[in-house]
Protein backbone atom coordinates (compact mmCIF):
# COMPACT_ATOMS: atom_id res chain seq x y z
CA UNK A 1 0.00 0.00 0.00
CA UNK A 2 1.23 3.45 -0.85
CA UNK A 3 -0.32 6.91 -0.76
CA UNK A 4 0.05 9.09 -3.85
CA UNK A 5 1.74 12.29 -2.70
CA UNK A 6 2.75 14.07 -5.90
CA UNK A 7 0.54 16.92 -7.14
CA UNK A 8 -0.78 15.33 -10.33
CA UNK A 9 -1.21 11.73 -9.18
CA UNK A 10 -0.71 8.91 -11.68
CA UNK A 11 -1.56 10.92 -14.78
CA UNK A 12 0.28 11.71 -18.03
CA UNK A 13 4.04 11.69 -17.45
CA UNK A 14 4.03 9.67 -14.20
CA UNK A 15 1.73 7.07 -15.77
CA UNK A 16 4.00 6.77 -18.81
CA UNK A 17 7.05 6.28 -16.60
CA UNK A 18 5.14 3.72 -14.53
CA UNK A 19 4.23 1.72 -17.66
CA UNK A 20 7.80 1.88 -18.95
CA UNK A 21 9.20 0.60 -15.63
CA UNK A 22 6.54 -2.14 -15.36
CA UNK A 23 7.48 -3.34 -18.85
CA UNK A 24 10.97 -4.17 -17.59
CA UNK A 25 9.58 -7.09 -15.58
CA UNK A 26 8.10 -10.45 -16.53
CA UNK A 27 5.71 -10.42 -13.58
CA UNK A 28 2.12 -9.29 -13.77
CA UNK A 29 1.78 -5.94 -11.98
CA UNK A 30 -1.64 -4.74 -10.90
CA UNK A 31 -2.55 -1.42 -9.30
CA UNK A 32 -5.65 -1.42 -7.13
CA UNK A 33 -7.58 1.67 -6.04
CA UNK A 34 -10.68 0.84 -4.08
CA UNK A 35 -12.62 -1.74 -6.07
CA UNK A 36 -10.89 -0.89 -9.34
CA UNK A 37 -7.80 -2.54 -10.80
CA UNK A 38 -5.40 -1.55 -13.56
CA UNK A 39 -2.73 -3.39 -15.48
CA UNK A 40 0.47 -1.46 -14.73
CA UNK A 41 1.71 -2.18 -18.26
CA UNK A 42 -1.20 -0.27 -19.83
CA UNK A 43 -1.18 3.53 -19.73
CA UNK A 44 -4.89 3.71 -20.54
CA UNK A 45 -5.68 1.32 -17.71
CA UNK A 46 -3.60 3.34 -15.22
CA UNK A 47 -5.05 6.68 -16.26
CA UNK A 48 -8.58 5.26 -16.06
CA UNK A 49 -7.98 4.62 -12.34
CA UNK A 50 -7.77 8.36 -11.79
CA UNK A 51 -5.37 8.00 -8.84
CA UNK A 52 -4.87 11.48 -7.45
CA UNK A 53 -2.88 13.08 -4.65
CA UNK A 54 -3.77 11.71 -1.23
CA UNK A 55 -5.33 8.48 -2.48
CA UNK A 56 -4.06 5.08 -1.45
CA UNK A 57 -3.23 2.44 -4.03
CA UNK A 58 -2.13 -1.15 -3.66
CA UNK A 59 0.50 -2.59 -5.98
CA UNK A 60 0.28 -6.35 -6.43
CA UNK A 61 2.84 -8.40 -8.32
CA UNK A 62 2.82 -12.03 -9.41
CA UNK A 63 5.53 -13.86 -11.28
CA UNK A 64 9.17 -14.86 -11.41
CA UNK A 65 10.54 -11.41 -10.53
CA UNK A 66 7.64 -10.16 -8.38
CA UNK A 67 9.75 -8.95 -5.46
CA UNK A 68 12.07 -6.89 -7.67
CA UNK A 69 9.08 -5.55 -9.60
CA UNK A 70 7.27 -4.45 -6.45
CA UNK A 71 10.37 -2.78 -5.04
CA UNK A 72 11.01 -0.92 -8.31
CA UNK A 73 7.43 0.30 -8.64
CA UNK A 74 7.35 1.63 -5.06
CA UNK A 75 10.70 3.37 -5.58
CA UNK A 76 9.37 4.97 -8.75
CA UNK A 77 6.25 6.32 -7.02
CA UNK A 78 8.39 7.66 -4.20
CA UNK A 79 10.66 9.39 -6.73
CA UNK A 80 7.63 11.27 -8.14
CA UNK A 81 7.03 12.69 -4.66
CA UNK A 82 10.54 14.18 -4.61
CA UNK A 83 9.89 16.07 -7.85
CA UNK A 84 7.15 18.25 -6.35
Residue 36 falls in the annotated catalytic set: no
CA distance 74 to 2: 8
Cβ neighbours of 79 (radius 10 Å): 12
Q: Which residues on adjacent β-strands are paired with residue 39? A: 30
Provide the greatest CA pair distance for the chain. 34
Catalytic residue among 2, 5, 11, 55: 11
Where in the sequence numbering do the catalytic residues fall? 11
Amino acid sequence: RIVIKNKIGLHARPAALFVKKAGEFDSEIIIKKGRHEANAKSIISIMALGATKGEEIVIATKGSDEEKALEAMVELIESFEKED
